[in-house]
Amino acid sequence: MPNAEQPADRKTLDDRQKMTDLERLRHSCAHVLATAILRLWPEAQFAAGPPVENGFYYDLDLGHRISPEDFEKIEAEMKKEIKANNVFERIVVTREQALADAASGRLGGLGERPGNPSKFKIGNLADIPEGEPISYYRNGDFLDLCAGPHVMRTGNIGAFKLTHVASAYYKGDEKNPQLQRIYGTAFKNKTELEAYFTMIEEAKRRDHRKIGQEMGLFALDSEYVGPGLALWLPNGTAIVEALETLAKEAEFAAGYVRVKTPHLAREKMYKTSGHLPYYAESMFPPMQIDEVAPRRSELAAKKQQLWELCRSNGAAEILNVSATEQAALSSGQEFQLLDQRTRELDPALPAETKRVLLELRDIARALFQLPPAEVYYLKAMNCPHHHRIFAAEPRSYRDLPLRLAEYGTCYRYEQSGELFGLMRVRALNMNDAHIYCTAEQFAEEFRAVNDMYLKYFQIFGLSKYQMRFSTHSAEGLGKKYVNEPELWHKTEDMVRRVLIESGINYVEVANEAAFYGPKIDVQVWSAIGREFTIATNQVDFAVPAKFGLTYRDRDNTDKTPLCIHRAPLGTHERFIGFLIEHYAGNFPLWLAPEQVRVMTIGDEEPLVTYAQAIVAELRANQVRVKADFTTNKINGKIQDAEKAKVHTMLVIGSRDMEAGNVSLRLHGKGNIGAKPKADAVAEILVAIKERRG
RNA sequence: GCCAGUUUAGCUCAGCGGUAGAGCAACGGUUUUGUAAACCGUCGGUCGCCGGUUCGAUCCCGGCAACUGGCUCCA
């Protein structure tokens, strides 16, 4: 289906000129990839081949399924093209010329291909606005519709590698045909290419699924619990609780109050909030509770029998309703209709016909008068519950800002193909809070939220982050977004102003807002330079009004508050998934599931008694400590502890005991040496309390 | 949900048209030890699930599920 609208992400010529040198190089490499594929499969049809974050891709349609086994020969052809050092030549043409070349199959080909027109290029041409120049780029025989820019020559592509093949919809629309997408990456030189693959290897080594398994942090039991429903094992729960304690302290200090809400709510909640219909497909299907279900089905069956009887004996004609019309009626409408028609009955009707019609009416009434089934949904968000907490008591301007915080569990029916380890799940624990405030208070509250982020970033040693400010699009109003154009602009201006004033690093992207207001996604980069979107802030100008939330202002009138949704620590699932990679499982002491392991050299008294007292003292101070007093060799015990990534190891032999010492060893750092027992314990307690990195 | 790939013991992985094997872990012993592995033994699997082909299927074929890489979506 041709896409009439401009794709929201289509780059303007201006954007294209901003392409970095590396992006140009990668984009050029995509053309070289297409050149190579055409030499092997001349019939291939190409769609789009842009640079992306870590490389480039080209989408193509081809009968042969390209697999990684084909990469070697494709790469060999690519090398030939690079060695030929062809110039990337820009050619400006008229739209008529471009359409003619697409029809002949010349675009995205090595020559004309009669009977095999460049179908996707025709679609791409349609997206080019009138007045914008139409250009080709040619390298050797390969001619492509392309706005550029490119490097000068194919030989400028220093080092490249094809990485994987995937499928993608033409223009990203699932209604369009699926294409094969060949991914690759390219760099200025071989050194940088190798550094990139080293980083990928490191990311694999730090994969949260692998480390989570090894360290016993969480389990995914799709058979019994369900896909995307994580079980937090004791070690993982230790991290969960350390994070919750951090959040509770930070939120308490920032004037938040805590609340607790159930995991489900009645349908009315989500009809009012607007999650239905905007969000319905991301929610688990509803639960129906029908306390009179047997009576309801009994009456319905009887009613249907009577209708059939009426149709067979002609009584239905008096009612003047076809079977299809009747089926479409609600029980209320059906009763009303029957009630009305039976009032106007011709007294000459046979008594039996009358009796049946009246009985039908009575059954319809009984059915209508049954209490309706109750419908409940698992919550996909905490906001509606918090809104009802706001509504639970009368509010004055003196109560604002009201900051309601909760680590709330939400359930989202993510499509099966979207699930991924802990990073994308169906049950998630959010570091959620909603701040109800006046428009005047907004800037200050928003700044305070940003400060909280910065505080967290410091604790976790995150030096690179970015706020991604998502705004609405005019076309989405009434569809993807609540139809309040003025409020959208007003709120977006307000947020933009605060972002600029606070000097925070942000980018703005259109058409990615939440349905009820603009959104700020927080992106952070892990220790090995991978990007994660871990948290989100949203400004909600619409839903509080839908719930009729008001506060009494100074002037004795009722006003609707603004609501800021914020979740700096995101969800436990994604945030801990991120932390696992960030720390490679080597958590700082305050987060480490097993903070300390005390191990003795041998198992003889009084050594064990001495060690046991240290364990007891640490436990009394809420330290997560384990003892290893077995007769295994000390090297073996140390290896066990190192493999378990225990942060601090206290090795105790008779030498230590006699001096009142412990020998300290830190995970990954090796033996530190002996120190007085009291000093070692005190240092552990301080490092935990200060959340030292 | 769509396209592709994967699924063998708790974990990492061999293997094969004739009903399975290693290392680690676990368990039982022996060993009394100074900073990343002392030794011996034992247990452990409807080869993801359901069908089909076959004398016989973990292996071949089909369907389903889960997981993974992407797409769409998203914290």
* Domain co-membership, A428 together with A388: yes
At residue A637, does pLDDT exceed 90? yes
* Domain co-membership, A492 together with A554: yes
Section A230-240 average pLDDT: 95
At residue A455, does pLDDT exceed 50? yes
Q: Per residue in A78-91, pLDDT tens?
A: 998 888 888 888 88
What is the model's pLDDT at position A1?
A: 27
Section A440-462 average pLDDT: 92
Complete edge-to-edge strand list for the sheet that includes strand A142-145: A89-93, A134-139, A142-145
pLDDT class of A322 with cuts at 50, 70, 90: confident
Question: What does the alpha-carbon distance between residue A627 and residue A444 come to, in Å, rounded to a whole number?
Answer: 49
Residue A220 domain flag: no
For the ranges A1-5, A115-119, A282-286, A442-446, the lowest mean pLDDT is seen at: A1-5
**For residue A149, is the peptide bond before it cis, meaning its omega torsion is within 30 degrees of 0?**
yes
**Angle at CA of residue A607, ends A602 and A613, nearest 5°:** 125
Residue A228 domain flag: no
Question: What does the alpha-carbon distance between residue A445 and residue A561 come to, in Å, rounded to a whole number?
Answer: 13
Can you say whether the dihedral through the CA atoms of A307, A311, A313, A314 is positive or negative? positive
Q: Which of residues 556-615 of A touch strand B (CB under 7 A)?
A: 567, 570-571, 573-574, 601-604
Residue A216 domain flag: no
DSSP state string for A660-690: TEEEEEETTTEEEEEEEHHHHHHHHHHHHHT
What is the model's pLDDT at position A404?
A: 97
- Domain count for chain A: 4
Q: In the listed set A345, A368, A391, which residue is the last one of a domain according to the structure?
A: A368
At residue A9, does pLDDT exceed 60? no
What is the model's pLDDT at position A513?
A: 84
Question: What does the alpha-carbon distance between residue A664 and residue A155 come to, in Å, rounded to a whole number?
Answer: 57
* Domain co-membership, A425 together with A476: yes
Which residues lie across from A181 on neighbouring strands? Answer: A59, A166
The structure tokens 């294209």 sit at: A16
Residue A563 domain flag: yes
* Domain co-membership, A649 together with A667: yes
What CATH number should be reported for the domain holding residue A680?
Answer: 3.40.50.800
The answer to whether A381 touches A264, Cβ cutoff 8 Å, is no
* Domain co-membership, A25 together with A141: yes
- Determine if strand B comes within 7 Å of the CB of A221: no
**Angle at CA of residue A294, ends A293 and A299, nearest 5°:** 100
Question: What integer best gives the mean pLDDT of chain A?
Answer: 88
What is the model's pLDDT at position A133?
A: 84
- Determine if strand B comes within 7 Å of the CB of A164: yes
* Domain co-membership, A496 together with A459: yes
Section A628-638 average pLDDT: 92
Nearest nt (C1') from A222 Cα = B66
Question: What does the alpha-carbon distance between residue A574 and residue A208 come to, in Å, rounded to a whole number?
Answer: 10
* Domain co-membership, A78 together with A175: yes
Q: In the listed set A549, A583, A617, which residue is the last one of a domain according to the structure?
A: A583
Can you say whether the dihedral through the CA atoms of A544, A545, A549, A553 is positive or negative? positive
Helical residues (DSSP H) of A621-670, grouped into ranges: 634-643, 654-659
- ipTM, interface predicted TM-score of the complex: 0.93
What is the model's pLDDT at position A162?
A: 86
Q: In the listed set A368, A389, A406, which residue is the last one of a domain according to the structure?
A: A368
At residue A539, does pLDDT exceed 50? yes
Tell me the backbone φ, ψ of residue A596, rounded to 5 degrees. -140, 140
**How far in angstroms lies nucleotide B43's C1' from the CA of residue A335?**
70
Complete edge-to-edge strand list for the sheet that includes strand A670-676: A625-628, A596-600, A648-652, A661-666, A670-676
* Domain co-membership, A454 together with A561: yes
What is the model's pLDDT at position A672?
A: 95
Identify which of A27, A31, A77, A19 has the alpha carbon closest to the alpha carbon of residue A51: A27
* Domain co-membership, A144 together with A245: no
Q: Per residue in A183-216, pLDDT tens?
A: 888 888 888 888 888 888 888 889 999 999 999 9
* Domain co-membership, A47 together with A176: yes
**How far in angstroms lies nucleotide B27's C1' from the CA of residue A18?**
65
- Determine if strand B comes within 7 Å of the CB of A555: no
What CATH number should be reported for the domain holding residue A86?
Answer: 3.30.980.10
At residue A12, does pLDDT exceed 70? no
Question: What does the alpha-carbon distance between residue A565 and residue A562 come to, in Å, rounded to a whole number?
Answer: 10
Residue A227 domain flag: no
* Domain co-membership, A362 together with A382: no
What is the model's pLDDT at position A103?
A: 85
Q: Per residue in A13-35, pLDDT tens?
A: 666 767 788 888 898 999 999 99
- Determine if strand B comes within 7 Å of the CB of A189: no
Q: Per residue in A102-141, pLDDT tens?
A: 888 888 888 888 888 888 888 888 878 887 888 888 888 8
The share of chain A scoring above pLDDT 70, in percent, equals 97
Residue A431 domain flag: yes
Highest mean pLDDT among A53-62, A418-427, A485-494: A418-427
Residue A3 domain flag: no
At residue A5, does pLDDT exceed 80? no
What is the model's pLDDT at position A14?
A: 66
Half-sphere exposure of A510 (CA within 13 A, CB side): 11
What is the model's pLDDT at position A383?
A: 94
pLDDT class of A153 with cuts at 50, 70, 90: confident
Q: Is A157 helix (H, G, I), strand (E, B) or coil?
A: coil
Residue type at A211 in one-letter notation: I
- Domain span holding position A684: 596-689
Tokens of A685: 């307690």
**How far in angstroms lies nucleotide B33's C1' from the CA of residue A213?**
31
* Domain co-membership, A520 together with A668: no
Residue A589 domain flag: no
